[in-house]
Chain A
Amino acid sequence: GAVVSQHPSRVICKSGTSVKIECRSLDFQATTMFWYRQFPKQSLMLMATSNEGSKATYEQGVEKDKFLINHASLTLSTLTVTSAHPEDSSFYICSKRDSLTDTQYFGPGTRLTVL
């Protein structure tokens, strides 16, 4: 299947700091990438759709000024959690979409812990 990497895999930060998570497509170019959040024992919740060269589309209830998304190239999208608080602690997962099959391929995830 398609290959997606995320960095870092795990990060611990202090409350009030900002954290950047990178999502890379290692095989084919991805004009569209997605960012999800997953809380323990729960399913994936879409946060935003990242479009290369344009602004991200955020889901209802997701603060765009808090979760900054940049998709500057066809292989890289970044999610920056600004002024992180303990309630932002979660598992963040990115995905890319194969436009031929509509299938999304997911990265390994980033575990964020805010102290």
Chain B
Amino acid sequence: EDQVTQSPEALRLQEGESSSLNCSYTVSGLRGLFWYRQDPGKGPEFLFTLYSAGEEKEKERLKATLTKKESFLHITAPKPEDSATYLCAVQAAQGAQKLVFGQGTRLTINP
């Protein structure tokens, strides 16, 4: 069964304090790994898609990396507006097109 585990569950940082969020996955052949940001009461906002080990993508203060077992979302010099829940999801290469989500990491950046 495809599974996604995110850690930590919650993370508090000071503004400017860089850190990383982890997404460990087991899937029967990876078609894609996806990172989303979700603000309270809103739908997830797409951040990145990664397809193969070694791939990296960047957007402003965020950088996502992928290995064969996990993905990291690195946040460099975060600002309070980066506070949100970050969700990781995988899609298997075989079968349905559905995403399997992790439980998310609640990130709080204090000014």
Q: Which residues of A contact B (CB under 8 A)?
A: 1-2, 4, 6, 32, 34, 42-46, 49, 57, 91, 93, 95, 97, 101-109, 111
Contact = CB atoms under 8 A, between A and B. Distances in A.
Contacts of A105: 46
B49 A46 contact: no
Nearest to B106: A41
A49 B97 contact: yes
Interface in B1-46: 31-32, 34, 36, 41-46
B46 A42 contact: no
Contacts of A93: 43-44
Interface of B: 31-32, 34, 36, 41-46, 49, 87, 91, 96-99, 101-104
A43 B49 CA distance: 19
Closest 9 CB pairs between A and B? A106-B43, A43-B101, A109-B43, A106-B44, A102-B32, A108-B43, A43-B103, A93-B43, A44-B101
A111 B41 contact: yes
B43 A107 contact: yes
Contacts of B45: 1, 106
A102 B97 contact: yes
Contacts of B97: 32, 49, 97, 102
A89 to B, nearest CB: 14
Does more than half of chain A's interface fall in helix, strand or loop, or is it mixed?
strand
A46 B98 contact: yes
Contacts of A46: 98-99
Contacts of B34: 103-104
7 contacts: A43-B102, A103-B34, A103-B46, A104-B46, A109-B41, A109-B42, A111-B41
A9 to B, nearest CB: 9
With most chain A CB atoms within 10 A of its CB, the pick from B43, B96, B98 is B43
Nearest to B88: A43
A1 B46 contact: yes
